[in-house]
Structure 1
Amino acid sequence: THSSVFVAAAESNAVIGKTVSLNVTATGADIQKATALLTLGNSFKNYTVTFSDNYEGTYSYSKLNNILTVNAERKADAVAVDNNIIATVTVDIPSNLSASDKFNYTVKGGSYTTADGYYATYHAPEAALPIAAAYSISAEVVLVGAPTTLTVTNDKGEPAANVDIFNAANNEKIGTTDEKGLMTTEYFSAASGNTTIYAKDAAGLLSFQLNVKSYDAAGEDSAMPYGLMFNALNDAAHGKSMTWMSNAIKAQDQYIRYRVSGTEDWTTVAAKATLRTFTKGGNSAVNVNSVTLEGLNPGTAYEYQIGGGEAWSEVATFSTINSNSDKTRFFALGDIQADDLTNIEKVVSKLSEGHYDFGIQTGDAVDDATSYSHWNDITNLFGVERFGSTDMIHVLGNHEYAGDANADAATNYFNLPTTAKPGSYYSLTYGDVYLAVVNYTGTAPQLKEAMDWLLKDAAQSNATWKVLLMHQPAYYTNNFGGNAEIYNTVPDVCEAAGIDVVFSGHDHSAARTYPLRDDEVDEENGIYYYICGSSGEKSYPITSQDKFDYEKIFKFATTDFAATYLSVTADKDEMTIDYYDIDRGLLDTVTIESPCKRHGHTACYDPAEKAVSCSVCGIALDNYSGKAPDKDGNEYYLLGGVVKTGWFLQGNDVFYANSKGVLQPIELDSYTKTNCTVRGKFVYSCKTVDEGDSATYTVRDDLPPGHKYDKEDPKAPNRVCTVCGWHEVSLKDCKVELSYTNYTYTGKAMKPYVYVTAPDGTKLTDYYDYTVIYGENTEIGYGTVTVKPFNYYLVNLNQKRGSLCDDGTVLEYKITIHAPTVKDVKAKMAVDGIDVSWTAVPEADGYNIYSWNSAKKAYDLLTTVEGADTTNATIYGVKAGSTYSLKVSAYNIIDKEQIVGYGGTAKITVPKNFAQKLEAPVATAMNDAATGYVKLSWSAVANADQYKVYRADTSNGTYKLMYTTKNLSYTNTSANAGYTYYYKVVAVDSKGAYASSDYSKVVSRTCDCARPVAKIAVNADTGKITVSWNEVKNAARYELLRSTDGKNFRHYDYTNKTSYTNMAVTPGTTYYYRVVAINGRSVYADSAASTTRYITCDCAKPTAKIAVEAASGKPVVSWAAVDGAAKYEVYVSADNKEFKLLGTTEALGYTDTSAKAGVTTYYKVKALCATSKYGDSALSNARYITCDCAAPVVAISINERYNKPMISWTAVDGASKYAIYRSTDGKNFKYYDTTTKLSYTNISTTSGTTYYYQVKAICASSSYGDSAYSSAASIKVP
């Protein structure tokens, strides 16, 4: 084997400020010549080459290809040595490298020759050494105005003492570490900025350089907390999540203290503080404080304060959600990313007026996660000043990761329940809505992990509605938004996971798809995908038309909006999603029905609970009838919620169920055919019946055909069957017996068997020879049994074939059905008498309690208890030492008659020292709808003549006497709206014969605002509807409810005023309104809705104008078109008092052809609604004018007698004379003369001159009625 040559580093790492040795080494002693071609990393420019004592040589560096070439040759007198170093390249390691850098070199090639002439080449791939430092230096977050401590450790992680620290920019010494490796300094605290430092010991060993950032303490220039937000959490009924900010220097440790509203004792919880730093717009830092409260009460208002030391916020209120609420309301917002917050503040202001359980923001709330001002804007938008204690779900978009790779700032600000790394996920449930959150990711593996989780997590939720929240949309509108992987992955998983709706952002467009499945519209099982718009400042054009068929995929997709939000309401049956633009109002609405709402429930039986529920939504199906499987596939049959057992016939089907109710397989064993009067039968069997049950079950065949008589006429006497020889008889001659006439109620129909025996002793057959008609006979009371000949088997309409003749005999019998027997009757002594209890008889109207009278040997009625659910009573006035034999019987009132069932009994002896106490009242509390005050009422107590009412502010607080009364009710007029009060009542005998009762059970009630008294009117000018109401004490604002049918009222708007003009109304449409006073303290103190007020929207009052038509002189009324009007009525008056209809027109003007010249007339106009007469406008303001004479129609000629111009005209109605006007230029006319005639010859004219004339009719009755000038007529005088 020949020797070889290789190049290797002598060190295992490259220490900054020191060197690395690359040795060219021979493996044997016979290497004569060697060459090595090396490349070094770009950071390593300084090196030296040395040759060992046995070799000499040269080296060179080529800038062209960055190759260092080393040539070596053994010296002639060199001693042969194995594995000796030929040459060493010593490379300087720069001091400004970081731990992430590498020292790298490559042996690009080389060659060597041995002593025996063997020649070979070699090379090696790139090798790398880690960069190391003798020391590490670290620093706390540096705050301007506060000292900071630097820490220096050696390469073993031990404190490094007496090591100097320098400013790398100018090598200025900052200080030296103490024995603990620490140095505290204010060197960085003067102003915000960046300083690069390093550590160096006396031997010149260095640390890596560290960039120390100095931060201004951001936020309130005080110790006060600010920017409080409430965040979403999974159990919002029992907890609250919140974050707030505080000054990192001035504020002390932060806490929250809270208590149930109206109580005294605070609970204090320390906040978790995280110091967050920001670099965009200057270095700044702030403490983000977070708290998650647990163990709270659902639907409860709490008072709280946040802060620390002496700096605490004002007392405010938050509320947990009501876990029993039927509805869940939330809103959704798209991307914000706005420098100009005008639009988003409008949206937030609108949303803050609604009562929402939570809100959603679909990501990109901030544009740059490293900007403090951006985060501060978000805390202002979603803080308590806008949304109170409404929880917010924040989906993280790509901009939450801008400059913050793991979205640590968002994690702190939103107190997220899990790490916020890209593609992170978690789920929440509010009410009946499951919400899965998947944060932004740009990688397919992270997206796949999130979708795998979604598939499993959604399957574990039994919520009716399943919603996915993610930043990027699957069905996107921006081709350049990086959404392709979302589309390729998400829809398939959503379909498999049962997702109903997906809310996304990212594209800054407003869009909704049709319900989609496999990219096809599926109204039944499709998923709605939303892009939630934006604040409107930034948008991307819609460019994905080449990817999606927009007509098939999108219901709408647009960027034409100001700023958008979505409002969602969900319950067990429906989810309604309204899409709004803050300027244009409602853009779109969708109502999704749950599968059970669409198709009904899918029954599943639980044998353990003996209950049927829907396997889809889980709702209990009480009183279910039909087949239902259990989870193991066993089938049951239930009737009215009760499992059938044994043999039974349901319709035409026969079943057998074992004692557990499980249906078993059965077979048909035999069949007997029917004859004239004996019905045939089917016999079924089951091989798996329970012990004691019959193995067979018989079902009767078709009814017998009846007899075939020798005479077809059913009235004919002595008919005889030609088949069996039977002689027809009358029912009235037969013996009829009922098996039983008194029954105890069981819930089943009572049907005593009826036996009919012919005069010759033949037993006739029910349903073949005679028929029995039972009344309903299922309810307590009297039932009926009717017997008559069977006459229903017909060969034709006249051939009746029963065994009894058709002589019209019908017999009716009466049976009695009593209430079930009362069971478990017990008697015991109480402080005020004998307490009697029993098991309820649900079917009863009440109970009678009797005591045995030994003298009468009968029971005496003691008392009556009304209502089936009352299962106890107290017998008052009992005598000490007496023994009472008591009986309790259920009764029912039937046609004013009391039908009493059998009773259960109990016996008790009253102690000789017994003293009686009054019965405690039963109190109830409600609100007076009109005043909102708490109204307390209670049951009357025997022997009591007074009642005392006590009140406390908490259930366990001190109760104070409020009122003493002889009445059975009390209205607490000193209660304040928004506060909850607790009450109890004591019954008193003022005469002292009976001891006062115990307190009633405590009842509580929140005092409501008084119900507004609403009025309604239509503005005569505009036709719009104005609702007004009185100011309500303790109301913070008012909610307006509106309906167009008087039944289905929906929220319309909020206002803090006491009137509201509804501008968005349509003429001719009737609108119904109610007003609710909203309490500013508690959602449970809102008033009852006002009495409904309704009115029809009118057309606006026309604005009329008036003029005179020049030619005719008639008045012309005109007006502008009125919205909603189909035509117009014109009214006329001579005195501006009594107006009469003049005419109707569809035009926008009307000429009064009946007006008389010189007469002043008044006019008004009414707009007639196109859809309803109740929508007609008010009359316009009156307009008046005097009717003119008509303008004369003038002709001109030469009077042949005088050879002068002669003007003539027709007579004008109402004119008494005519004025002549003359001109010689056709422009400047002057009055010339007046005449009462119909022509005029102008004598004083000059030959050769052309004259122009106009004529005006002068009104006989009024100067205001003169006509307009006639058209000019001209002629040249000969």
Structure 2
Amino acid sequence: MMENVLYVLDTGNNRVQMFQYGSSSEKKRDENKMVPSERPKVAIFDLENSNKEAIDKLMGGAVSEMLTTNFVKSNRFEIVERKELNKILDEQHFNSSGFVSADSAKEIGKLLGIDIGIVGSVSTLTDKIDIDVRMLDMKTGVVILATNKSVKNENKIRDAVSEIVMELERSYINRIGAPSAPTGVISLPSMKSLYIKWDPNPEEDVIGYNIFSSTSAEAKFEKVAEVNKNEYKVDGLNENSTYLFKITAFDSEGKESEFSDLVSVNTKKSPDFGYILNIKYKKLPKKVDFSWTNPEEEIVSSYQIYRAETSDGDYKLVGTSIEKKFEETGLEDGKEYFYKIKKVYPDGLASAFSNYFCCMTDESPNEIQDINAVSNLAKKIEITWKIPETDKDISKIYIFRSDVSGGEFKMINDVTSLRKKYVDNKLNDNTTYYYKLKSVDKFGLESVFSREILATTKDVPATPTNLFAESNLARKVKLTWEYNFMNDQKVYFLVFRASTMNEEFKEIAKLDKTEYIDQKLPDNKQFFYFVTARDTDDLASNPTDIIQAKTKPLPTKPSTLKAMERQPRKVSLVWDKNPEPDIDHYKVYKSKKSQTWYKSIADVKETTYTDDEEKKGLRDNTSYFYKISAVDVDNLESEQSDEISAITKALP
């Protein structure tokens, strides 16, 4: 399995360490792995015997020796000799057992120059042996990793210790590879909230930050939040109070940095007074639109806008804004309104009133007069108007429409004031529409609605009547209909056809007469038709009812064709008469071979025929083949009869 090399920057000791390691699933250690140029110094303390059975068997000391052997074999750490360690601990009156407090760990680490301490305990139970081991950072006293293994008997202890050492080594490497502590922390406090921001960590694999808080440096710092950006906002704080924060960074592997520098933040007191300067407003119809400036250092989340009828009147809240501008609508034109503003902070606290200021609405234009609408136009209505001469600054005309008198009028368009006409297109036929207009000046001020006017669009042509289709015609259908022409009305007619009721009808003819012959149709085929009328404005009537017709079928195939054989140099044919009353004649076909090409040799009126090749006579002892077809008065020819054959008489 391929091995890996890990380079670790140990900023606390100003050194770069290089570790070579294999897969985490490997159970055996590679004795030839590259070791760091300066190895961490590890002290392995005697593991504490947790019960009488462990004491009797001296299990703690035995497991400690196994830990020492495995750490030495790994060759990644500098191991303090246990006898020398115990000697120094005894001289300094330290406990050499598995219990080492955070304070004593830091003192021992400083005294002996130790980076890591291994402590723990062993318990011997009836059915298992429990081994608990902790890795300590001897500079801080912080537990880097706590792990344990359980084995069923003493023969398994050595394997369990090997696994523990591998896990501890990985934990230490991960700890060294953790992100750097966040820096550049700043805060922006408000009354009951504050905002903290810091520089993004330089490591590319940092995915988030942990926020810790306390009310004093001596109190415990509790984790209060986890964020994925380099900023944090906290609400619900007490105003004029001190809060302490520390921040750590963590990467995609779960490694966490050391704490950032301590950040002390004081929330603010409520402002004593709010004020506002530099009011700018627009004189607009039925509304005011104003903006302002005011110096402020604190974070403001929004502004509350209050209005009164007089400068010293009762100011009531009329709206809020997150920007330093506000628009209020629904006001009276040509009237003064008085305003005051309050700041609202992120914690919901509001300042005192600003100084008051005054805004005034504009007056609206006059109502549009002389408005008219033209009826009886195809799918459209034309509207004309005149603007009062007193209104010199009109910029637009708004067009409103409703489907019912006195109903809801909706704006359908606006046109420039230079125009005095508007055409409302794409309307329904024979429908009445209602209109009102408004004029708008260059400031956006609107007039009141004009009076209501109405107009009706042109009706569609009348529907053709008495549509009739004549069937049983040879390869054609004749259509006739009636139409009531009104007042020299000019219309033309469109004929539509389909082969079935389910398929799409297609236009087949456009004409100004009331009849049409649909020709070149297949025999014995049914067709469906309807007709519409269309005027010069391209308005189409409703379609007629759908009618159907069928073309004339071909005559039936002649039957019972017989031939008299063994006649001298001729063949006599006879067949049954066709049932159709309009059969005009029969065609006789002949061939010298069966099922090949047949040549027409005669047209006869009767149902008999003698083939003697026009008195010349046929060949003796020769076979001939015949077919018959029927042809009606419309020259429709039936299918040929079944083939028969006959042989002439042979010579003696």
- TM-score under structure 1 length normalisation: 0.17
User: Highest CA radius of gyration, 1 or 2?
Assistant: 2
- Choose between structure 1 and 2 for higher RCO, CA contacts under 8 A separated by at least 6 residues: 2
- TM-score under structure 2 length normalisation: 0.28
